[in-house]
Amino acid sequence: MSDLNILLILLNCAYLIWLLAFVSKKIVWLRILTVTGNVVVLPYYLFYFEEALWNPIVWVGIYTTINLIMLLLIYLESRPVELSNMEQKIYDKTFKSLEPRVYKHLIDLAEIEELGPEVKLVNRDTHLENLMLVVEGEAEVVLKHGDHVFIPSGGFIGEQSFITGENTSADVSTGKEATTILRWNSEVLRNYLEKKGPLKDTVDLILSADVIHKLRNMDDNHPEVKHSMDLNVK
> Does the structure show a pLDDT above 50 at 231?
no
pLDDT score of 226: 46
Give the pLDDT of residue 223.
46
pLDDT given for residue 234 in this prediction: 33
pLDDT at position 218, please? 63
Secondary structure letter of residue 138 according to DSSP: -
Q: Rounded to whole angstroms, how far apart are CA atoms 114 and 23?
A: 54
The percent of residues in the chain predicted with pLDDT above 70, rounded, is 92
Contacts of 125 (CB under 8 A, 6+ apart): 167, 168, 169
Strand partners, 148: 142
Work out the average pLDDT over 19-48: 94
Per-residue confidence at 221, pLDDT binned at 50, 70, 90?
A: low
Length of the chain, in residues: 234
Q: 0.85 cut: is pTM over it? A: no
Q: Note the pLDDT of residue 220.
A: 56
Please give the average per-residue pLDDT across 84-105, as a whole number: 91
Cα–Cα distance, 136 to 181 (Å, whole number): 7
Please give the distance of CA 138 from its chain centroid, rounded to a whole number: 26
pLDDT in tens, 113-151: 999 999 999 998 899 999 999 999 999 988 777 778 888
Residue 205's φ and ψ, nearest 5 degrees, are: -70, -40
C-beta separation of 151 from 195 below 8 A: no
Which of residues 231 and 57 earns the better pLDDT score?
A: 57
| Higher local confidence (pLDDT), 216 or 226 | 216
Tell me the HSE value of 126 on the side-chain side, using a 13 A CA sphere. Answer: 11
* Beta-carbon count within 10 A of 45 CB: 20
Query: HSE on the CB side for 234, CA within 13 Å?
Result: 0
Strand 171-174 relative to strand 139-142: parallel, antiparallel, unpaired? Answer: antiparallel
CA 213 to CA 205: how far, in whole Å?
12
Least confident of 119-123, 170-174, 179-183, 225-229: 225-229
Backbone angles phi, psi at 80, to 5 degrees: -60, 140
Candidates 211, 116, 120; CA nearest to 162 is 211
pLDDT tops 80 at residue 154: yes
